[in-house]
A and B are shown apart, each in its own frame.
Chain A
Amino acid sequence: DAKTTQPTSMDCAEGRAANLPCNHSTISGNEYVYWYRQIHSQGPQYIIHGLKNNETNEMASLIITEDRKSSTLILPHATLRDTAVYYCIARLNNAGNMLTFGGGTRLMVKP
């Protein structure tokens, strides 16, 4: 799996959009970009994933650059409950391929 680089921490005001960047400059053509988050003491939670096109679901939007070397996870209206560690993962999409969680970005949503 390609290595990903994320800022260690970020702050966001409640109600504003949270934009979390991820660099994956060595990503291969068949590796997907996945985002998970982990709220303190809980198991990780899947957010979204994509290959080339931008993706949106009920939780977030994923913007992948045209060269696929970086991406941004957008939480459109952050709430206090979005305070968590967010992990960006580049991986092949097969069942046996583990999720390799690095350090992630600690997002603090403030009132």
Chain B
Amino acid sequence: DAGITQSPRHKVTETGTPVTLRCHQTENHRYMYWYRQDPGHGLRLIHYSYGVKDTDKGEVSDGYSVSRSKTEDFLLTLESATSSQTSVYFCATAGQSYNEQFFGPGTRLTVL
């Protein structure tokens, strides 16, 4: 499972508050991804990283920012959470052979 942990696993917050989700990996994988999963939409890419301090936008990046200051950590920040960001968030990693992405256990975020 590539040693991926996500924290927190569950979070309830209020509209307008900032939220940071953390993804931590122990496999020294170069590539890291943040996805969200919603009913009817499948899994959609928010942002990804191809190295320390190298990030790029995915399909649904509006309202999200990311940072990667260390190989092992990839942070997803919602600057001002909205109810539309209620979702399950998955982190994934991939090594040099990026055929296979390894997914973390997910974070269930509820924005009231």
* Interface residues in chain A, defined as those with a beta carbon under 8 Å from any beta carbon in chain B: 32, 34, 41-46, 49, 87, 93-96, 98-104
Contact = CB atoms under 8 A, between A and B. Distances in A.
| Residues of B contacting A: mostly | strand
Interface of B: 4, 30-31, 33, 35, 37, 42-45, 48, 50, 56, 58-59, 90, 92, 94, 98-106
Given A43-B105, A103-B42, A98 B98 contact: no
| Residues of A contacting B: mostly | loop
Contacts of B30: 95
Given A99-B101, A101-B42, 10 more contacts: A45-B103, A95-B31, A98-B48, A98-B58, A98-B59, A99-B35, A99-B43, A99-B45, A100-B42, A102-B42
B102 A96 contact: no
Nearest to A103: B42
B43 A44 contact: yes
Given A94-B98, A98-B48, A43 B104 contact: yes
Contacts of A32: 99
Given A95-B31, A95-B94, A98-B59, A46 B102 contact: yes
A68 B39 CA distance: 29
Given A95-B50, A101-B43, A46 B104 contact: no
B98 A43 contact: no
6 contacts: A32-B99, A43-B92, A43-B104, A93-B99, A98-B48, A98-B58
